[in-house]
Amino acid sequence: MDFALTEEQQLIQDTARQFADNELKPIAAELDKTGNRELLLDRLNQLAELGFMGLNIDPQYGGTGAGTLAFSLAITELARGCASTATTTSVTNMVAEVIQATGSDALKEYFLPKICSGEYAAGAFCLTEPGSGSDAAAMRTRAVRDGDDYILNGSKLYISSGEYAGCFVVWAVTDSSAPKGKGISCFVVEAGSPGLIIGKAEDKMGQKASVTNFVAFEDCRVPAANMLGGENQGFRIAAGELAGGRIGIGSLALGIGLEAMDVARAYMLEREQFGKTLAQFQGLQWQVADKYTELESARLLLLKAAWEKDAGLPFGPTASMGKLFASEKANEACYLALQIHGGAGYTKEYPLERMARDVRITTIYEGTSEIQRLIIARHLLQGVR
């Protein structure tokens, strides 16, 4: 087994790391405090210019075409600098991949260059509703055929980048008589479409610069040609794309956890108590060793899932394992790093309190840890049968 990165993958990882160090870390605290939209959009545009908004998109549509493994590496490095920026980048890549995988040639030619180039500041993924989160098949948004169009009515909740997304991938029920989950279709809706209403932004605990909105559809007319995949095939599309998204969010959690531990490691070498540095206390040494070991294990799981996806192999269970393990261990890492800083870690002078808030959502969005365990268990039990 070859663990060496290709020259392209190494270049992407190095570029993402440099961008995080030079462009994201210096502004992360301000973005967290003020949500400075102009500053965030500027960095997103720079990332698009560097090719980070279409990492797994065919170059004929303006993408980088570097693959899922490169995507995972990039998101991990970006998350070290700013979790909000990394989240927006991850979701935008996921939206582009949905369109590439299931859209017609016309849809791919129209939407993908706009996403990859940064003409669209971001893409939005509209699945969750006020009454359906983990149980996505229980959605109530409806799409009714009317000639060459569908008319959408309903609402979506917790939609990342809603306020500045250029396009929305939207799931809606097209056959209410079908068994649960069987009558759902998927559409791509351009921002500014009549009847597409962007509601209030949530006041969140963390990742504050990544705007999260309520989105409503009131007699929103969408061309039938904007359907992604076949009619009533939307739930299958959602399941497949969420698996890919879990690689992104797991990689993001990994980046936050690694950065938190790196900050704590540096602090341990400086801070003195009882006449010696914190780094000289064996109890702390062992805790740090455990956390780095766990995070490295998470990295390997995520890269294995990314490799499986790039190779065209079934990757869903591995992606769930990677997302589950990375997000849980990253939360633990941020808590430990803050604890190592003592009272200082609880202040905004150090980035640990922000990281602890930013990392918390990673065990929830793109499928909670509980849902990941269900997916993994079902896969394992099916194997026994």
Tell me, what CATH number does 359's domain have?
1.20.140.10
Tens of pLDDT along 334-381?
999 999 999 999 999 999 999 999 999 999 999 999 999 999 999 999
Tell me, what CATH number does 223's domain have?
2.40.110.10
Would you say residue 35 has pLDDT above 80? yes
User: Is beta strand 123-126 parallel, antiparallel or unpaired with respect to 167-173?
Assistant: parallel
Tell whether 246 and 221 lie within a shared domain. no
Tell whether 242 and 380 lie within a shared domain. yes
Tell whether 191 and 162 lie within a shared domain. yes
- Amino acid 315 reads F
* 371 within domain boundaries: yes
Tell whether 116 and 255 lie within a shared domain. no
276 φ, ψ to 5°?
-150, 160
* 255 within domain boundaries: yes
Tell whether 131 and 203 lie within a shared domain. yes
User: Quick one: pLDDT band at residue 385, thresholds 50, 70, 90?
Assistant: low
* 157 within domain boundaries: yes
Tens of pLDDT along 165-209?
999 999 999 999 999 989 999 999 999 999 999 999 999 999 999
Percent of the chain with pLDDT over 90: 93
- Amino acid 156 reads K
Average pLDDT score, the chain: 96
Asked which of 75, 94, 121 is the last residue of a domain, the reply is 121
Tell whether 163 and 88 lie within a shared domain. no
Length of the chain in terms of residues written = 385
Lowest mean pLDDT among 135-139, 259-263, 302-306: 135-139
Would you say residue 40 has pLDDT above 90? yes
Average pLDDT of the residues in 222-246: 92
Tell whether 253 and 370 lie within a shared domain. yes
Tell whether 277 and 147 lie within a shared domain. no
Asked which of 232, 251, 272 is the last residue of a domain, the reply is 232
User: Given this model, what pLDDT does residue 320 score?
Assistant: 97
Q: How far is Cα 108 from Cα 308, in angstroms, rounded to an integer? A: 24
Tens of pLDDT along 42-75?
999 999 999 999 999 999 999 999 999 999 999 9
* 1 within domain boundaries: no
Cα of 269 vs its chain's centroid, Å: 33
Average pLDDT of the residues in 301-323: 97
Tens of pLDDT along 117-146?
999 999 999 999 999 988 888 999 999 999
User: Given this model, what pLDDT does residue 17 score?
Assistant: 98
Q: Are 304 and 311 in contact (CB under 8 A)?
A: no
- Amino acid 91 reads V
Query: Which pair of tokens denotes residue 83?
Result: 């979790």
Tell whether 224 and 256 lie within a shared domain. no
> For residue 284, what are the domain limits?
237-384
User: Given this model, what pLDDT does residue 353 score?
Assistant: 97
Is 366 one of the annotated active-site residues of the chain?
yes
Tell whether 258 and 363 lie within a shared domain. yes
Query: Which pair of tokens denotes residue 95?
Result: 């939206």
Average pLDDT of the residues in 289-306: 98
Cα of 286 vs its chain's centroid, Å: 31
Tell whether 129 and 192 lie within a shared domain. yes
* 2 within domain boundaries: no
Query: Which pair of tokens denotes residue 297?
Result: 């294990």
User: Given this model, what pLDDT does residue 384 score?
Assistant: 72
Average pLDDT of the residues in 93-119: 97
Q: How far is Cα 257 from Cα 326, in angstroms, rounded to an integer? A: 9
Would you say residue 1 has pLDDT above 80? no
* 102 within domain boundaries: yes
Alpha helices, H only, the chain: 7-19, 25-34, 37-49, 68-81, 83-102, 105-117, 234-270, 282-310, 316-341, 352-360, 369-384
Tens of pLDDT along 162-171?
999 999 999 9
Tell me, what CATH number does 105's domain have?
1.10.540.10
Q: What is the largest CA-CA distance in the chain?
A: 79
Q: How far is Cα 360 from Cα 25, in angstroms, rounded to an integer? A: 19
Asked which of 188, 209, 232 is the last residue of a domain, the reply is 232
How many domains would you assign to the chain?
3
User: Given this model, what pLDDT does residue 240 score?
Assistant: 84
Average pLDDT of the residues in 226-238: 92
- pTM, rounded to two decimals: 0.96
* 192 within domain boundaries: yes
Tell whether 129 and 117 lie within a shared domain. no
* Active-site hit among 77, 190, 366, 370: 366
Q: Are 19 and 46 in contact (CB under 8 A)?
A: yes
User: Given this model, what pLDDT does residue 137 score?
Assistant: 87
Q: Are 216 and 197 in contact (CB under 8 A)?
A: yes
- In the numeric block, the tokens 């995949």 are attached to 229
